[in-house]
Chains A and B, each alone.
Chain A
Amino acid sequence: MPNLFTLVLQITVILATCRLVGSLFRKIHQPRVVGEMFAGILLGPSLLGWVAPHFSAYLFPASSLGFLNALSQVGVVIFMFLVGLGINPKELKHQSHAAVLVSHVSITAPFVLASLLALYLYPRLSDNGVSFTNFALFMGAAMSVTAFPVLARILIEREMMHTRLGTIAIACAAVDDVTGWCILAYIVVLIRAAHQSASIWITLGGILAFAAVMIYGVRFLLRGYERTFRKNGAISENGMASLILLAMISALCTERLGIHLLFGSFLMGAIMPKEPKFVRYVLDRFETVTITLLLPLFFAFTGLRTNIGLMKGPNMWFYCALIILVATGGKLGGSTIAAWLSGMQVREAAGLGTLMNTRGLMELVILNIGMDIRVISPALFSMMVLMALFTTFMTTPALELICPDYSLRATPKKKTAVPEVELQEIA
């Protein structure tokens, strides 16, 4: 049984710290999520555990972390459902050449560069319990992700959502997320299958069958929610409860199939009806608790796993700088070149590259999966968390520098991959 006093005390301290640091970051024109990610690190061994080890041990005793993790994972399961809900696959089918090229290059460029970097890092930051292929593939997937919700938030704040840049960026981020999760699912299957008695083909077959049932079967049944919403303008409490239930069941199925809980909830969100008002309605019901209560717990748990103290000596900081350089070069550089080759002006192309380099919360989710399946070491995890923070933090000032008055040149309002108001608070 959890010590309830400790658990409630932890939640109180985490929420207070996240709100405070998040508000401070808003004052310097950063999305709140960056501040909350930073707050998580402040509460971990990198700061609190370092300056006040006894208080840290009292507040976060090792025996209590399992409960904190469980709560935070529930939050991430719901969050991934909401992220999937925000992605509209129909819109992705009608991308321009520029969007197709940029989205694919923004995956392949960081992926290949990360794999090259893995050649250097594997003998230094990994061990022979992890195969090079798994290590390199994971590094590639982790570096090629784009934070779809954070990106949406930045575009809305800068009134760029309906510009050509905003439209392409949001479509590319959606493609990146879907592709990134598919790659990650494959890696998780590979790693877990090596330790399970069932053949990898049985696992893969099960996953494909599950995805087919969801896309070609369950998706059509879910239209009933949209019909009810159109008819009544609302969904009953039972209806909302069944939505969460379906997301949880889907999450359990993917976990049981050998991938991860989060893939199931993401898939359930992705196949939900996409009528903008319906999406907004569902988001409104779930966002507050998820964003203000559960996600800060995830940031804190990630922060507790992040130990900058593990990066001892100039070598470790050199590896960290190299990771940031490769991640930024691959994502920002690759996207910029692809956009420029597609006919965009250099500034506009660089702006798109900067937006695609936003990793935010999605990166933390992927890194935590990497730690759970033990494909990355604690020191590498800490370096990658710093990379996620750095690349997310740099987006707003870099965009200000590259496209200072872009929104003034906005094109007429145009339908985008996500409804305008979606996911704004998540970011």
Chain B
Amino acid sequence: MSSTNRNFIFAYAFLVVLPLVGLAGILKSGRRLAAPPLIDGLWSIQLDTTADDPHPCSLVSNSLLPKSISISQSGRTFVLAVPGNPQITGSGTLDGNSLHATWTAPAAAPLAGSLDPHSCSGQVVSLLASLDRPTGGGVLTGSFSAADCPSCTPVAFRAERPRNTASKEGP
């Protein structure tokens, strides 16, 4: 075997074969890593408006809260959008199974006859929720609240994501 061939074999073993062996080790050790739970997809929201509130938050009365939200997840951060309402876009973070997101409530149509004293239009709306069933379709429970709106009590909600809309569960 010539020295050129021998050098080539050594270089090939060191630069190609050895890294490939290392790759197998990396893939094996990576299996132990835990990524944030999947929240990506379309969630349908059910608001809990049964509470007897003498000053119902105008977020609810003016229908400023979405009936569904679409979450686009990038690891621990996500972007939130409301289907059919491009005005509402928010962003949030995921900490364990807890979500926190904010967006600005769009201007609502004025109520006939008078100005709404409890208007939340233009205010920052906050979503606080926790993921109850991280596997499968998943269930989110939490509340919406408007910042700087003392008259507004947080509105509880429950959101479900049908299994087939969990967007990463199949192309």
Contact = CB atoms under 8 A, between A and B. Distances in A.
Q: Do A and B come from one complex?
A: yes
Main secondary structure of the interface of B (DSSP, over half): mixed
Nearest to B5: A97
Interface in A295-318: 310, 312, 316
Given A133-B30, A136-B27, A377 B75 contact: yes
A133 B73 contact: no
Contact of B15 (A119, A191, A338, A373): A338
Contacts of B147: none
B30 A108 contact: no
B171 A112 contact: no
A337 interface: yes
A379 B34 contact: no
Given A128-B38, A129-B40, A310-B79, A334 B15 contact: yes
Given A118-B30, A129-B169, A109 B35 contact: no
A322 B33 CA distance: 20
Nearest to A191: B171
Contacts of B169: 129, 195
Contact of B30 (A119, A191, A195, A380): A119
B114 interface: no
Contact of B31 (A124, A132, A140): A132
Contacts of A132: 27, 30-31, 33, 35
Nearest to A133: B27
Given A109-B19, A374-B167, A127 B134 contact: no
Interface string A60-85: 00100000000000000000000000
A341 B15 contact: yes
Interface in B70-124: 72-77, 79, 86, 91
The number of chain B residues touching the other chain, given as a range, is: 35 or more
A127 B131 CA distance: 14
A134 B76 CA distance: 19
Contact of A123 (B15, B36, B79): B36
B37 A377 contact: no
Given A105-B16, A119-B33, A127-B38, A341 B27 contact: no
A119 B166 contact: no
A57 interface: yes
Contacts of B27: 115, 132-133, 136-137
Interface in B26-77: 26-27, 29-31, 33-40, 72-77
B30 A112 contact: no
A105 B15 contact: yes
Contacts of B76: 124
Contact of A192 (B20, B26, B171): B171
Contacts of B134: 128
Contacts of A30: none
Interface of A: 57, 62, 97, 100-101, 104-105, 108-109, 111-112, 115-116, 118-119, 122-133, 136-137, 140, 191-192, 195, 310, 312, 316, 334, 337-338, 341-342, 372-374, 377-380
Interface of B: 4-5, 7-8, 11-12, 15-16, 19-20, 22-23, 26-27, 29-31, 33-40, 72-77, 79, 86, 91, 134, 166-171
Given A108-B16, A112-B26, A127-B168, 15 more contacts: A108-B15, A108-B20, A112-B19, A118-B30, A123-B33, A124-B76, A128-B38, A131-B31, A191-B171, A310-B77, A312-B77, A338-B11, A342-B11, A374-B167, A374-B171
